[in-house]
Amino acid sequence: MSHTAETVPRGAIRVLIASTLAFTICFAIWMMFAVIGIPIKERLGLNETEFGLLAAMPVLTGSLVRVPLGIWTDRYGGRIVLFLLMLSTVLPIWLMSYATVYWHFLVLALFVGLAGGSFSVGTPYVARWFPKGRQGLAMGVFGAGNSGSALTKFVAPALIVAAGSWVIVPKVYAVAMLVTALLFWFLSDSKPEHRVKGGATLREQLHMLRDPRVWRYCQYYSVVFGGYVALALWMTKYYIGEYGFDIKLAALLAACFSLPGGVLRAVGGWVSDRYGAYRTTWWVMWVCWVAFFLLSYPQTQFTVLTVNGARTFHIGLNAGVFTLLLFVVGIAMAIGKASVFKFISDEFPHNIGAVSGVVGLAGGLGGFVLPILFGALLDLTGIRSSAFMLLYGTVCVSLVWMHFSFRPERLVEDQRALAGQSV
């Protein structure tokens, strides 16, 4: 009986592959300002805060549309919603090549950002094709489309070098989006029973914010996903400014964070299925806490008066150690992104689309606000590692919240264990 319950329905694997491919391209396009934003910044003479706003602008739209997209997915099905969403971005992506002033880029970036809403469509769409015991893994595989962030770091710099200009990138991406949308439509499928009759209204979905569990998951996701998006947008420029690398090498090293942060999300789904969402998320936060503490330390040079005279010392992370720590953070965030959605599928099985829309909105807003704050802190302090200082603080909040939120549950479990031993 249990074997039957865990049987994967026919067509589920094909839907998962088509959806993951679509999400990968959407995410690559969503993150394209991580690369093309650098030559645009130089051309327009933007400061760090203005660059942060430009890079984050697509994230704003991609976050705000997640709530209604989650509702429409529950109501109409993920196939038609994702297909139309992808088609709606093709023209704005193409027009990005013809933008000339700052506000042109900001407005077009808002429309390009619709591609980021694909996550709130694909997550419930894919989850409903799989039995509960395999939903964590399925959503993790789909979420591996986050690796589109790494894809854009390989493709965009190569296109810029080959063409001698960044304007070729939006044109190539527009064609890629159109082709991917058509492939998704012909490869995917739909089932009427996956639609929720009536579905949740916007008012009902926002009513879920009264549930403290939703707030917790919003906070966790704003760290593991919002932090991932912010760093994916910021790291290419960070390597250029901190270590003096060219755009191609900087993007390649930044991909060492983006790639595991996307691909290994499937591993996070498997780990969450096996060990539980709470234990997995707890360890993810601790790993990020340690890594961000080390990454926060700025390049420091100080002089000490010794008995033999003044001696100067330098403390700071070289590019190799820095990249290794980022790689570890990428792995942790990949697992954490999956574990948060395992919480949702376990506790809100009938409203996955609605709740994932709210949580995805929180994570996306984190990805929008953080790059702007990174730029503002850099303008104010002149310390590039201030970005990691900010992230360190957000992880501290998550760890404290998790400790006090789940403490009553752990006490009950301990009491049951003691009662069992006494018997």
Does residue 238 form part of some domain? yes
Does residue 1 form part of some domain? no
Does residue 262 form part of some domain? yes
Banded model confidence at residue 418, pLDDT cuts 50, 70, 90:
very low
Alpha carbon distance 113, 60 (integer Å): 7
pLDDT tens string 286-339: 999 999 999 998 888 888 988 888 888 888 889 999 999 999 999 999 888 888
**Residue (of 135, 140, 144) closest to 8 by Cα position:** 135
Does residue 2 form part of some domain? no
**Residue (of 365, 383, 106) closest to 238 by Cα position:** 383
Number of H helices, E strands in the chain: 20, 2
Does residue 4 form part of some domain? no
pLDDT tens string 206-250: 666 677 788 888 888 989 989 998 999 999 999 999 999 999 999
Q: Dihedral of CA 158/162/164/165: which sign?
A: negative
Give the type of residue at 46: L
Banded model confidence at residue 205, pLDDT cuts 50, 70, 90:
low
The domain tally of the chain equals: 1
Does residue 155 form part of some domain? yes
Does residue 341 form part of some domain? yes
Asked whether residue 103 carries a pLDDT value surpassing 60, the answer given is: yes
Q: How many CB atoms lie within 10 A of CB 348?
A: 19
Asked whether residue 114 carries a pLDDT value surpassing 90, the answer given is: yes
Asked whether residue 412 carries a pLDDT value surpassing 50, the answer given is: no
Q: Are 365 and 222 in contact (CB under 8 A)?
A: yes
Banded model confidence at residue 380, pLDDT cuts 50, 70, 90:
very high
- Residue 266, token pair as written in the block: 């499937």
Does residue 200 form part of some domain? no
- The verdict on pTM exceeding 0.85 is no
Q: Dihedral of CA 302/322/38/157: which sign?
A: positive
pLDDT tens string 20-44: 999 999 999 999 999 999 999 999 9
Give residue 2's pLDDT.
Answer: 42
For tokens 């190569």, the residue is 158
Task: Using alpha carbons, list the distances in angstroms from residue 239 to 47, 91, 225, 399.
Answer: 17, 32, 21, 29
Q: What is the CATH number of the domain that holds 158?
A: 1.20.1250.20
β-pair partners for 309: 306
Q: Would residue 11 be called left, alpha or beta, if left means φ above 0 and alpha means ψ between -120 and 50 degrees? A: left
Instruction: Give the domain range for residue 76.
Output: 9-194+205-422
